[in-house]
């Protein structure tokens, strides 16, 4: 055990001194050595900010669970800087799988693979598989190279809260809990990576993200792979059958309500809150409906030009709602195509299945 990890265990309840580092060569080098020595570093990626630790150091990884308040049965993603490192941390990657990986990595996608012995059980929550991601984000990959070890990193939020997509959000969630936070730009994608597993001739989607079902079908077609959605997000019927208590995730303090068309707000199923942030696109309803909502006092309306823009801003708007104490966010529930599937997955959980 390194001095750094030992000290953290002794000082459980004590705040940690957090360095703010820039993503310059010096900043990345310093953050890399903090990671190598067993410290925790928050860093930007193209999807969301991650809370990183040396993936080969069980104690450092245990601190991730402590700092996040994360249940021990939820495994971590291990981040590498290139596919060349893959054989060190995985076993028996079939050729078909490797061909798909080559075509989408580095990128916003995570592959679940059989794990090598060197990956500690705490990282994989005792599973025989390990989730591997190679971020497209240049500075994230440089950080991993400076660290010289694979980096285990979940999203840098406290468990249950929205993932941070800006430095401000990451700072808010983790300052005083980690050794360093790298000050990067807002995340380009804004939703966590697609998590997939290739078994037999199937690409199984476990968590939808920017790499969509359609993208996966395209990536797999040369190898004769079919794509199956196991994320439970494909259902075209909204509202979904049974929302229930399992959807405790991505939740801001503000109550999130979903709507399938702006016209639903004329005659809502529940009384509208006195003020709210409204998130929609030009496809969310007629221009008359949009004008109506824009005229409501106390409502701040964002009309994103595309689903990608909507996805990029979703978690940041959850944060804005809490920062400015809006009681609610009214969010459009888009069709399940492309990144719409990932948006629906996060929205349903954030709203606990609540529709207007
Ligand atoms: O974009 C992302 O993926 C971000 C950035 C930081 O890389 N990370 C992230 O990590 O979202 P986290 O911990 O918030 O989500 C990891 C997801 C969880 O749903 C976890 O259950 C799943 O990946 N996962 C990890 N290891 C797994 C495994 N061996 N088998 C199946 N699912 C796994
Ligand atoms: Mg997360």
The verdict on residue 197 lying in a domain is no
CA of 293 to the centre of ligand 1 (A): 37
Cα 251 to Cα 17, 160, 355: the distances in Å are 27, 6, 15
The verdict on residue 175 lying in a domain is yes
User: Does residue 338 surpass a pLDDT of 70?
Assistant: yes
Q: How confident is the model at residue 245 (pLDDT cuts 50, 70, 90)?
A: very low
Q: Check whether residue 147 and residue 14 sit in a common domain.
A: yes
The verdict on residue 145 lying in a domain is yes
Q: Check whether residue 267 and residue 163 sit in a common domain.
A: no
Q: For residue 269, what pLDDT is reported? A: 85
Q: How confident is the model at residue 217 (pLDDT cuts 50, 70, 90)?
A: very high
- Return the ligand 1 atom nearest residue 156 CA: 6
User: Does residue 77 surpass a pLDDT of 90?
Assistant: yes
The verdict on residue 218 lying in a domain is no
Q: For residue 4, what pLDDT is reported? A: 65
Q: How confident is the model at residue 3 (pLDDT cuts 50, 70, 90)?
A: low
Q: Check whether residue 125 and residue 22 sit in a common domain.
A: yes
Mutational pocket test of ligand 1: of 190, 192, 196, the residue with most ligand atoms within 8 Å of the beta carbon: 192
Q: Check whether residue 161 and residue 291 sit in a common domain.
A: no
Over residues 54-83, mean pLDDT: 96
Q: How confident is the model at residue 51 (pLDDT cuts 50, 70, 90)?
A: very high
Over residues 154-171, mean pLDDT: 96
Of 158, 183, 208, which marks where a domain is finished?
Answer: 183
Nearest alpha-carbon partner for 293 in 310, 311, 280, 312: 280
Q: Check whether residue 18 and residue 151 sit in a common domain.
A: yes
Nearest alpha-carbon partner for 147 in 65, 31, 25, 6: 31
Cβ(218)–Cβ(334) under 8 Å?
no
The verdict on residue 75 lying in a domain is yes
CA of 314 to the centre of ligand 2 (A): 14
Q: Check whether residue 15 and residue 145 sit in a common domain.
A: yes
Nearest alpha-carbon partner for 131 in 66, 74, 174: 74
- What is the domain-level CATH number for residue 260? 3.40.50.11030
pLDDT in tens, 281-322: 999 999 999 999 999 999 999 999 999 999 999 999 999 999
Q: How confident is the model at residue 68 (pLDDT cuts 50, 70, 90)?
A: very high
Of 126, 150, 183, which marks where a domain is finished?
Answer: 183
Q: Find the domain containing 10 and state its range.
A: 3-183
Give the integer Cα–Cα distance in Å for 281 and 293.
13
Better-scored residue on pLDDT, 13 or 230: 230
User: Does residue 84 surpass a pLDDT of 50?
Assistant: yes
The verdict on residue 76 lying in a domain is yes
User: Does residue 174 surpass a pLDDT of 70?
Assistant: yes
The pTM score is 0.94
Q: For residue 110, what pLDDT is reported? A: 98
Please give the tally of structural domains in the chain: 2
Q: Within 6 Å (CB) of ligand 1, which residues are found?
A: 45, 47-48, 50, 74-77, 110, 112, 124, 127, 129-131, 133, 153-155, 192-193, 195, 206-207
User: Does residue 242 surpass a pLDDT of 50?
Assistant: no
User: Does residue 8 surpass a pLDDT of 80?
Assistant: no
Q: For residue 112, what pLDDT is reported? A: 97
- What is the domain-level CATH number for residue 37? 3.90.870.10
Of 156, 183, 210, which marks where a domain is finished?
Answer: 183
- Return the ligand 1 atom nearest residue 47 CA: 1
Give the integer Cα–Cα distance in Å for 79 and 257.
34
The verdict on residue 125 lying in a domain is yes
Cα 48 to Cα 124, 139, 185, 297: the distances in Å are 20, 13, 11, 32
The verdict on residue 12 lying in a domain is yes
CA of 141 to the centre of ligand 1 (A): 18
Over residues 248-271, mean pLDDT: 91
Q: Check whether residue 19 and residue 157 sit in a common domain.
A: yes
Mutational pocket test of ligand 1: of 108, 111, 154, 231, the residue with most ligand atoms within 8 Å of the beta carbon: 154
CA of 307 to the centre of ligand 2 (A): 21
Q: For residue 243, what pLDDT is reported? A: 40
Q: Check whether residue 89 and residue 174 sit in a common domain.
A: yes
């Amino acid at each position: 055990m390194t001095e750094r990890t030992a000290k953290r265990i002794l000082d459980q309840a004590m705040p940690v001194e957090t360095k703010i580092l820039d993503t310059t060569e010096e900043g990345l080098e310093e953050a890399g050595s903090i990671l190598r020595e067993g410290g925790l570093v928050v860093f930007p990626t193209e999807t969301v900010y991650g809370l990183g630790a040396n993936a080969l150091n069980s104690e450092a990884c245990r601190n991730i669970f402590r700092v996040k308040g994360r249940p021990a049965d939820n495994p971590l993603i291990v981040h590498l800087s290139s596919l060349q490192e893959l054989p060190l941390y995985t076993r028996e990657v079939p050729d078909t799988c490797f061909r798909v990986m080559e075509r989408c990595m580095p990128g916003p996608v995570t592959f679940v693979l059989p794990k090598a012995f060197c990956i500690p059980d705490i990282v994989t929550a005792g599973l025989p598989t390990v989730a591997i991601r190679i971020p497209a984000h240049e500075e994230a990959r440089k950080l991993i190279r400076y660290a010289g070890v694979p980096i285990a990193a979940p999203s840098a939020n406290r468990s249950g809260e929205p993932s941070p997509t800006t430095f401000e959000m990451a700072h808010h969630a983790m300052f005083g809990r980690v050794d360093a936070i790298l000050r990067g730009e807002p995340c380009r994608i804004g939703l966590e990576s697609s998590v997939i597993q290739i078994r037999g001739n199937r690409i199984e989607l476990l968590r939808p993200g920017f790499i969509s079902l359609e993208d996966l079908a395209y990536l797999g077609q040369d190898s004769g792979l079919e794509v199956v959605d196991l994320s439970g997000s494909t259902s075209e019927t909204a509202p979904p059958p049974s929302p229930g208590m399992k959807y405790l995730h991505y939740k801001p303090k503000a109550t999130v309500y979903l709507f399938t068309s702006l016209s639903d707000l004329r005659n809502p199923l529940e009384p509208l809150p006195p003020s709210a942030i409204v998130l929609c696109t030009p496809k969310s309803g007629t221009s008359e409906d949009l004008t109506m909502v824009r005229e409501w006092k106390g409502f701040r309306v964002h009309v994103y030009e595309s689903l990608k823009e909507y996805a990029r801003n979703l978690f940041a708007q959850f944060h804005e709602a809490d920062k400015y104490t809006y009681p609610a966010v009214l969010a459009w529930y888009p069709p399940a195509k492309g990144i719409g599937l990932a948006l629906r997955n996060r929205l349903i959980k954030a709203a606990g299945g609540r529709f207007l």
